Structure 1
Amino acid sequence: MLEVAQVNQHYGSSHTLRGISLKLARGECLALLGRNGVGKTTLLKCLMGVLPVSSGTITFEGRDITRLKPHQRAAAGIAYVPQGREIFARLSVEENLLMGMASLSGARAAIIKQEIFTLFPVLKEMLQRRGGDLSGGQQQQLAIARALLQEPRLIIFDEPTEGIQPSIIKDIERVIRLLRQRGDIGILLCEQYFDFAHALADHFVVLSRGEVVASGGHAAMDSGDVRRHLAV
């Protein structure tokens, strides 16, 4: 579904990503692990076309998307839940959701909106509240809901547990688990919280200083070694 092959990225004179390669199949969850500053968000921005790659290729469903613009990748079926959520703080919850439904027909929009409220019932109760007035956990749920309204085939999460209260983390875990069980969507989960990622992912890629230092399934991963790469 998604294949990243020997991707390099430079920011000025800094070589930020070094020969990154990974694969994600439909219906699977791939966890991208590493401490702050190792290149995880840079890689995700390259996948979304926000940052250009210096070399290498990004293929999605057999199509080379390396040079596509962000809106073209979104139209191809890739959704992104960014670090910091980036909801529209001055818009209401309902208006934020409408932004995610911009490409849907009226009938389909009504159906998927109800599906979203099943996943995140708290949002239905807060439709007229401004996004900026929600708690951090509620904003994260809104950001995920907005992304899912695009009906993506691949969804990318950047640190979805960062700064979130434990009860909301459980809700987010439940939603990701349900998406994984559907089997028709790929999930790329960028995380520092190892236990959260370990409970959800099929495969793991660990970054350090802009390069892959470990990868594989559960059996191939040494949890102690991974935790050392996540420690500050």
Structure 2
Amino acid sequence: MLNVSDLNQYYGSSHTLRGVSLNVEKGECLTLLGRNGVGKTTLLKCLTGVLPTASGQVRFGGHDITRLKPHQRAALGIAYVPQGREIFARLTVEENLLMGMACMPGRKASTIKGEVYELFPVLKEMLGRRGGDLSGGQQQQLAIARALLAEPSLIILDEPTEGIQPSIIKDIERVIRLLRERGDMAILLCEQYFDFAQALADKFVVLSRGEVVATGLQAQMNSENVKRHLAV
């Protein structure tokens, strides 16, 4: 589904991503781990086209998308839930959800699928409220629901538990687990909360100073080689 080969990226003279390679298939959840500032969000922005890459290749569904714009990648089936959620604070919940379907044609872009209310019942109760009036946890649920309405083949989640109360973390875990078990999309999860990431992972990648320093299956996440790159 998504295959990244030898990706390099720079901020000025700073080499921020160094030969990063990874792949995630449909029905899998790949967790991206690492301390703050090691390049995780930079990598996700390169995968979604928000940042350019210096070299390397990004392939999605068998196609080279390395030079495509963000909207072109979205149209191909890549959805991104950024760190900090970035919902539209002045728009209502309903308007935010409709924005998630902006890349769809015609009438299909004007009908909110009831499935999102099954996944996040609280949103149905708040359709008329402005996004900025929701709690942080409710905004995160809205951001994920908005991404899902684009019917992606790949969903990329950047720190979905950051600043979220425990009860909503459980709801988000339930939804991601359901999406993984459904098997019709790939999931790339960047997460600081180790237990949350481990509970959902099929496999993992650890970044340190912009490089992949460890990879493996979920059963290997407790190894000392992984934990030494995560400890503060």
In structure 1, how many angstroms separate the alpha carbons of the residues matched to 2:134 and 2:219? 40
Q: Secondary structure, in 3 states, of the residue corresponding to 1:230?
A: coil
In structure 1, how many angstroms separate the alpha carbons of the residues matched to 2:109 and 2:162? 32
Matches within 5 A, 1:118-157: 118-157=118-157
Q: Deviations over 1:107-129 (max 9, x none)?
A: 6864x521000000000000111
- Where structure 1 has 5 or more consecutive residues not aligned to the other structure, the ranges are none
The residue that corresponds to 2:113 in the other structure is: 113
In structure 2, how many angstroms separate the alpha carbons of the residues matched to 1:210 and 1:124? 41
Query: Could you tell me which amino acid in structure 2 is paired with residue 129 of structure 1?
Result: R
Cα gap change, 1:153 to 1:174, in 2 (>3 Å)? same
The answer to whether the aligner puts 1:164 opposite 2:164 as a matched pair is yes
In structure 1, how many angstroms separate the alpha carbons of the residues matched to 2:125 and 2:219? 43
Task: Work out whether residues 194 and 227 of structure 1, in 8 Å CA contact, stay in contact via their aligned partners in 2.
Answer: no
In structure 1, how many angstroms separate the alpha carbons of the residues matched to 2:191 and 2:106? 34
Task: Work out whether residues 33 and 204 of structure 1, in 8 Å CA contact, stay in contact via their aligned partners in 2.
Answer: yes
The residue that corresponds to 1:82 in the other structure is: 82
- Where structure 2 has 5 or more consecutive residues not aligned to the other structure, the ranges are none
Q: Deviations over 1:144-196 (max 9, x none)?
A: 00000000000000000000000000000000000001111000000111110
The residue that corresponds to 2:60 in the other structure is: 60
In structure 2, how many angstroms separate the alpha carbons of the residues matched to 1:218 and 1:196? 12
Cα gap change, 1:109 to 1:153, in 2 (>3 Å)? farther
Cα gap change, 1:107 to 1:61, in 2 (>3 Å)? closer
Matches within 5 A, 1:41-56: 41-56=41-56
Give TM-score scaled by structure 2 length: 0.96
Task: Work out whether residues 34 and 208 of structure 1, in 8 Å CA contact, stay in contact via their aligned partners in 2.
Answer: yes
Q: Deviations over 1:189-227 (max 9, x none)?
A: 001111101000100000011000100102333444423
Cα gap change, 1:107 to 1:70, in 2 (>3 Å)? closer
Matches within 5 A, 1:9-48: 9-48=9-48
In structure 1, how many angstroms separate the alpha carbons of the residues matched to 2:52 and 2:195? 32
The residue that corresponds to 1:100 in the other structure is: 100
The residue that corresponds to 1:208 in the other structure is: 208
For residue 106 of structure 1, report the CA deviation from its aligned partner: 3.6
In structure 2, how many angstroms separate the alpha carbons of the residues matched to 1:90 and 1:67? 32
For residue 104 of structure 1, report the CA deviation from its aligned partner: 5.2
Cα gap change, 1:8 to 1:144, in 2 (>3 Å)? same
How many pairs align?
231
In structure 1, how many angstroms separate the alpha carbons of the residues matched to 2:107 and 2:114? 13
Q: Secondary structure, in 3 states, of the residue corresponding to 2:187?
A: strand
Q: Deviations over 1:10-45 (max 9, x none)?
A: 110000000000010111000000111000000000
Q: Deviations over 1:84-108 (max 9, x none)?
A: 0000000110110111123155468
The residue that corresponds to 2:185 in the other structure is: 185
Give TM-score scaled by structure 1 length: 0.96
Q: Secondary structure, in 3 states, of the residue corresponding to 1:47?
A: helix
